[in-house]
Structure 1
Amino acid sequence: MLDIAAPSEVFAESRHASSNYELVICSPDGKNIKTGSGLSLHVDSDAHDEGPLDTVIIAGGCSMPTRALTFEHISAARHLAGRARRVASLCTGAFVLGAAGLLDGRKVTTHWNHTQRLQDRYPQAEVVHDSELVTDGNLITSAGESAGIALTLHLLREDQGNKVHSVVARDLLVYQPPDNDVASTGKLIPRNPLVRKLTEEILADPTAQYTLADLARRAAVSPRHLCRLFQEEVQTTPAKFVEQVRFDSARSLLDNGESVTNAAFMSGFGSMETLRRTFISRLGISPRAYQHRFNTVA
């Protein structure tokens, strides 16, 4: 449901900024579908009846990495992609594009938990690990359900420029303080006391050293067991959690007017180059460009 709801909200919000998109939800047979959450989703049309199109966004699903996709799914993806100016996938939607033969020779990504599976299944593609968005020509792939907003904002900036992008981003990007019930990573504070203690320490001081060995020693467990606990509690690895907290902190500092240099050191990245690589990997732009675009309305 998030794969549909998140982009729809961004496009809907853009209408308040003098932008206009017509959204159509398709399925391989034109029938309404039941999402992974159990909620039903109204479908506007059969995918095979659509075209020409500006943009096609293929949504993901929990079972896509592990099940054989039907001929109808593959045929629908090929039909839509062949009639669109650009094609994008959300989360595991990349597996649909792969089955349709649309990833061959392209640089792509998907949910971090399935990147290796995607690479193994479609070896002709170049799968990028640990990246939120990957653009290769007219193909844009994204990692995880929450990347739907980042993907749609990226499309919005391409279409409408910085002004509309900035207005919509200001309305939709909300930063959660560390002492709230929800961490800045968007995950619930973990129930496991060991993981909760570590995440609270990381949120309180992103600048400290947090290698896997250091964190495991603090928790008095093996590194492997700690990774398992983090996966169960916050659905990511310790290293990725640390990077996410530092990224959130740096982005907030930039939004508040700090220089790129100060943001790099105050958030724990340690150098401008590390911060730059992280921003380009996650958002496709440098921190300086992000600060200019987010805080400037033309």
Structure 2
Amino acid sequence: MRHVERIVVLALDGVYPFELGIPSRIFGAADGRYEVLTCSVDGRPVRSNADFSITVEHGPEVLGTADTVVVASVAPSYITPDLPEDVAAALARIRPDARIVSICTAAFVLAAAGLLDGRRATTHWQVVDQFRRSFPQVDLDPDVLFVDDGRLLTSAGAASGIDVCLHIVRTDHGSALANAVARRCVVPPFRDGGQAQYIEQPIPQQGAASTAAARTWALEHLDEPLALADLARHAGMSLRTFARRFREEVGLSPGRWLIQQRVVRARHLLESTDLSVDQIAGEVGFATGASLRQHLHAAIGVSPQAYRRTFQAVR
């Protein structure tokens, strides 16, 4: 029989209703691969940051049965530097081998519990300074949409909870299922860049050109040796203007974005074809199979052969 992974979502006082519903919506669209339960620290209703409370069906005891625990985000006014006793007691029920995920400000909860000490993590860009003051022992990366640090995953604000949940589906069951889930939920299966692109910026001058067309063109020519000058020329901008505007819009440099897109394409080909590693490298624009191996390992920590064994078996 196919294993059904249990996801338990922990709702705390001050929870954002939108973020609380993300795990159920995403994992619930994954063809029965997951079971999603929602609990509170005492089994009682929790106050949301809206004008209503939320009744949950379970108490903290279900945390001990979870394969994955998702802590939903809370309004900043509910953030405390120390962990309340009832929250600490609830988190203590989580199995040592369970995966733990935070959405947005819930990174404060994991950090206060000591789970993020010495680890890389992220949270919403608006509370970055507060987080760093409270938890200097955490390696905070404010520029990304989510961080996968093995057993612990943290995500940035609000909709990045969708990104991290889709990433988990992709990691567990491959890109085909993750893409299908994204289509059912009418969201992009993979968002470009990081949260830097969402930080408040001065309003651009009216009529300012976008790099979107150049990005679309690049995705259609990933198998070619694309240089920054090629992208800038396609966008009709100088190199300096293009590089600046690209980072403003995407949150990454053009070079880093290209590598990211090539790795995404390579993962799809490893899952869906029997092409050799060298052939796939050529298809996605890496000069050699060794280069593909290097970039794939840097992105997801495995070799092309190991990735293919896992996800072709899933397919």
TM over 0.5: yes
Match for 2:137 among 121, 124, 138? 124
Counterpart residue identity of residue 167, structure 2: A
Q: Distance in 1 between matches of 2:179 and 2:294?
A: 21
1:98 Cα deviation after fit = 1.6
Q: Distance in 2 between matches of 1:76 and 1:228?
A: 47
Q: Distance in 2 between matches of 1:147 and 1:14?
A: 14
Q: Percent identity?
A: 23
- Preserved CA contact (<8 Å) 2:30 2:177: no
Structure 1 segment 281-296 matched on structure 2, within 5 A: 281-296=298-313
In the alignment, does 2:41 pair up with 1:31? no
Structure 1 equivalent of residue 288 of structure 2: 271
Give the 3 Å change call, closer, same or farther, for CA 173–284 of structure 1 in structure 2: farther
Structure 2 equivalent of residue 254 of structure 1: 270
Q: TM-score, normalised by structure 1?
A: 0.65
- Secondary structure of 2:246's counterpart equals helix
Q: Distance in 2 between matches of 1:32 and 1:115?
A: 21
Structure 1: which 5+ runs fail to align? 158-164, 177-181
Counterpart residue identity of residue 148, structure 1: C
CA offsets 1:255-283 (integer angstroms, 9 cap, x no match): 33122222223212333344334434444
In the alignment, does 2:256 pair up with 1:243? no
Counterpart residue identity of residue 134, structure 1: D
Structure 1 segment 4-43 matched on structure 2, within 5 A: 4-9=20-25, 11-13=27-29, 16-17=32-33, 21-26=35-40, 30-34=45-49, 42-43=54-55
Give the 3 Å change call, closer, same or farther, for CA 14–3 of structure 1 in structure 2: same
Structure 2 equivalent of residue 104 of structure 1: 117
Structure 1 segment 66-105 matched on structure 2, within 5 A: 69-70=79-80, 75=85, 77-85=87-95, 86=98, 88-92=100-104, 93-105=106-118
Q: Distance in 1 between matches of 2:219 and 2:294?
A: 21
- Preserved CA contact (<8 Å) 1:194 1:219: no
Structure 2: which 5+ runs fail to align? 1-16, 193-206
Counterpart residue identity of residue 90, structure 1: S
CA offsets 1:34-79 (integer angstroms, 9 cap, x no match): 58xx9x8945169778754534222347x76xx7813697556533
Structure 1 segment 217-228 matched on structure 2, within 5 A: 219-221=236-238, 223=240, 225-226=241-242
Structure 1 segment 57-68 matched on structure 2, within 5 A: 57-60=70-73
1:221 Cα deviation after fit = 4.2
Give the 3 Å change call, closer, same or farther, for CA 284–43 of structure 1 in structure 2: farther
1:26 Cα deviation after fit = 3.4
Match for 1:201 among 185, 202, 217? 217
Structure 2 equivalent of residue 162 of structure 1: none
- Secondary structure of 1:23's counterpart equals strand
Give the 3 Å change call, closer, same or farther, for CA 75–238 of structure 1 in structure 2: farther
1:253 Cα deviation after fit = 2.1
- Secondary structure of 1:24's counterpart equals strand
- Secondary structure of 1:102's counterpart equals coil
Q: Distance in 1 between matches of 2:301 and 2:127?
A: 19
- Preserved CA contact (<8 Å) 1:60 1:90: yes
Q: Distance in 2 between matches of 1:175 and 1:52?
A: 27
Q: Distance in 2 between matches of 1:139 and 1:102?
A: 8
Q: Distance in 1 between matches of 2:218 and 2:132?
A: 32
CA offsets 1:185-228 (integer angstroms, 9 cap, x no match): 546xxx964412321221121233334x76557643464x5455
Q: TM-score, normalised by structure 2?
A: 0.62
Q: Distance in 2 between matches of 1:80 and 1:264?
A: 47
| Alignment root-mean-square deviation, CA | 4.5
- Preserved CA contact (<8 Å) 1:27 1:43: no
Aligned residues: 266
